[in-house]
Structure 1
Amino acid sequence: MLIPLGAALADTPVAGPDSNLPVPRFVSLKAPGANGRHGPGLEHRVDWIYERAGLPLQVTGESGPWRRVRDPDGAEVWMHAQNLEQRRTIYVSEATALRRTAHESSQVVAYLSPGVVASVTGCSGEWRRVAVGGRVGWATNEALWGGDCAGL
């Protein structure tokens, strides 16, 4: 059963018909080499091969063991659920500071470049607690993709 994208794009998540998990929701790519297909099944062509383990993806639909996902660039493809994991990550969409606490005036502990993928472990208002390269701190959500607090 396919969950309609219109419902999935609304602010209120609905339970996926196959996983019973909220749709939309964020997950991450389990391992490199995952095929992003044009439709839900092996008979559909491969549109993209995803090579970045940990890349955040937004589940926007379900059909059996297949998940329709949106990547940080906005591309939507179908992936088998075995290629996804519940670990939460973010994608840095614009350069931003990683701060010691969730305040604009807090000490900068690192700078994050666009394209960085980091684990996200908490939320405080519009701030996300992230860990990357041995550093842990807070970044403003406006510079991140995948920083939805649901499920954290």
Structure 2
Amino acid sequence: MLHEFWNKFGRAGSLAGLMVAALSASPAGAETPQFPAWRSLRDPVVNMRTGPGEDYAIRFVYRRQFLPIKVLRLFQGWYLVEDPDGARGWMMMRFLNKTPTALIRGKGPVEMHAGPGEGTPLLWKLAPGLVGRLGGCKDGWCQIDVERHVGFVPEGRLWGAGKP
């Protein structure tokens, strides 16, 4: 096809055609990834490697589907990531997704309330280490769903909420 284009329009036409093809190669409205960003583990078992490739040693094996992960940058299909404990390494893009999740952190349980604020009814006390699906956050409170228990917790007690 390119050969036919070249013969019909010559060098100037082919360069213009290639430029149009290059500009139209990405779909309209395609997102440019912004980093850092929150992602979560897609699979129940995911390896963190010491470098961006399968030839690099495995640093950690995560057995925590939906664990929130901070993505620092992208390199040839691999994310440089940071886990909730601050460990950094590389994960293949396909093992992470954009499902918003959060991990309860800090010492002692955190109270889950029916609404965003301590004045709302107490629903549950959540132990550090629990992971749930994250809803929206506003005024320092985030909605979270932990095993179908839905309520609000302070944003400061969550890894995976707010600005990465």
Q: What range is the shorter-chain TM-score in?
A: 0.7 to 0.9
Contact 1:122-1:149 within 8 A present in 2 as well? no
Greater share of helix residues, 1 or 2? 2
Taking the TM superposition and a 5 Å limit, the aligned residue runs for 1:22-37 are 22-37=34-49
Match for residue 23 of structure 2? none
Match for residue 137 of structure 1? 151
Gaps of at least 5 residues in structure 2 are: 1-30
Q: Which runs of 4+ in 1 moved over 6 A?
A: none
Greater share of strand residues, 1 or 2? 1
Q: What TM-score do the two structures reach when normalised by structure 2?
A: 0.77
Contact 1:31-1:53 within 8 A present in 2 as well? yes
Matched-pair identity in %: 30
CA displacement at 1:59 relative to structure 2: 0.2
Amino acid at match of 1:36: M
Structure of larger gyration radius: 2
Counterpart-to-counterpart distance in 2, 1:61 and 1:134: 32
CA displacement at 1:149 relative to structure 2: 6.0
Gaps of at least 5 residues in structure 1 are: 1-18
Contact 2:112-2:152 within 8 A present in 1 as well? yes
| Corresponding residue SS for 2:156 | helix
Counterpart-to-counterpart distance in 2, 1:78 and 1:101: 37
| Corresponding residue SS for 1:128 | strand
CA displacement at 1:89 relative to structure 2: 0.3
Counterpart-to-counterpart distance in 2, 1:66 and 1:122: 28
Match for residue 53 of structure 1? 65
Task: Output the aligned Cα RMSD.
Answer: 1.4
Contact 1:123-1:149 within 8 A present in 2 as well? no
| Corresponding residue SS for 1:82 | helix
> Number of residue pairs matched?
132
CA displacement at 1:20 relative to structure 2: 2.2
Counterpart-to-counterpart distance in 1, 2:44 and 2:117: 35
Amino acid at match of 2:45: G
Amino acid at match of 2:127: S
Contact 1:35-1:50 within 8 A present in 2 as well? yes
CA displacement at 1:133 relative to structure 2: 1.8
Taking the TM superposition and a 5 Å limit, the aligned residue runs for 1:1-152 are 20-94=32-106, 95-148=109-162
CA displacement at 1:35 relative to structure 2: 0.9
